């Protein structure tokens, strides 16, 4: 069937989408859980990540069902635009979390005793995980853009 025609590029594109979804789940856990970042949402972050994941999914889906130059152009644009959109989301997340991370990890000794509670440290670690996962998703999506979505016919 058509699945046999998928290449490394399609597999990497799907992996990037999965990693971005996991990063979004970590972010949701971060703002929904206890600790420093409880209810500290970053404006537009979920929508940018969802938009990037949808771009990747549409690119693979289009390429599975259509095979012409127009589809190749559209999927190429989607596969380049998705990591760019997710990179903007990552920059917004970093900008929204860097002050808190500095406060939690690098306060002077007197403040650190009050701030470095288990909930705050857990919240900071979850924020770092969501940033790292999204960063890896972006890198995988960029690498995937250099590969074809379908194997060449032999």
Per-residue tens of pLDDT for the chain, all 154 residues: 455 566 888 889 999 999 999 999 999 999 998 888 898 889 999 999 999 999 999 988 887 777 677 888 888 899 999 999 999 999 999 999 999 998 888 888 888 888 888 999 999 999 999 999 999 999 999 999 998 877 766 4
Q: Rounded distance, CA 153 to CA 119, Å? A: 55
Which stretches within the chain are classed as H helix?
8-32, 45-65, 69-106, 109-115, 118-144
Q: Is residue 78 a contact partner of residue 60, using CB atoms and an 8 Å limit?
A: no
Q: Which two tokens stand for residue 105?
A: 């990890």
């Amino acid at each position: 069937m058509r699945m046999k025609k998928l290449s490394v590029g399609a597999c990497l594109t799907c992996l990037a989408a999965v990693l971005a979804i996991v990063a979004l789940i970590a972010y949701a856990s971060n703002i929904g859980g206890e600790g420093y970042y409880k209810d500290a949402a970053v404006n537009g972050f979920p929508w940018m990540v969802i938009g990037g994941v949808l771009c990747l999914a549409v690119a693979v889906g289009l390429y599975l069902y259509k095979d012409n130059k127009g589809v190749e152009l559209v999927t190429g644009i989607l596969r380049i635009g998705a990591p760019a959109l997710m990179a903007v989301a990552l920059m917004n997340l970093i900008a929204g979390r860097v002050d808190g991370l500095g406060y939690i990890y690098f306060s002077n000794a007197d403040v650190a005793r009050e701030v470095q509670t288990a909930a705050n440290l857990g919240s900071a670690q979850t924020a770092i995980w969501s940033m790292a996962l999204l960063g890896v998703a972006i890198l995988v999506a960029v690498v995937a853009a250099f590969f074809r979505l379908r194997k060449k016919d032999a």
